[in-house]
Amino acid sequence: MDVRIYYEDTDSGGVVYHANYIKYLERARTEYFRSRGFLVAELARDGFVFPVVRLEIDFKAPALHDDLLTVTTSPLHVGGSSVTFQQNIVRQGDGKLLVAGVVKLACISPGLKARRIPLEIRTMLETEQAVAE
């Protein structure tokens, strides 16, 4: 997923405010599922919610106003009721890695109880994880 950096994304020093990277990672995960035919809103209506339960971010270099970034998402580990993604943010043009993140999502019901990831999604995630290894 591509992200253009606008003035509103930056702090007083002209670099992307650190909390905005979390938004970019979230959007990329949503688009990851959408591009594979799974809409997050529909999953939630069906009783499958995927909150973040763990987040690790390494800030390697700053993004600046008007940069064009690419956010990649790939599954690292698929469990019965959780999935961990590797997400990277790279600046287009020079290909510099700006942010490396590891994000773990749990699959829960609206009642906040853990539940198994739907088989169709789990199969897709496991297939993509195997390809990435």
Among all residues, which ones are annotated catalytic? 11
108: left (phi over 0), alpha (psi -120 to 50) or beta: beta
| Element housing 58 (H / E) | strand 52-59
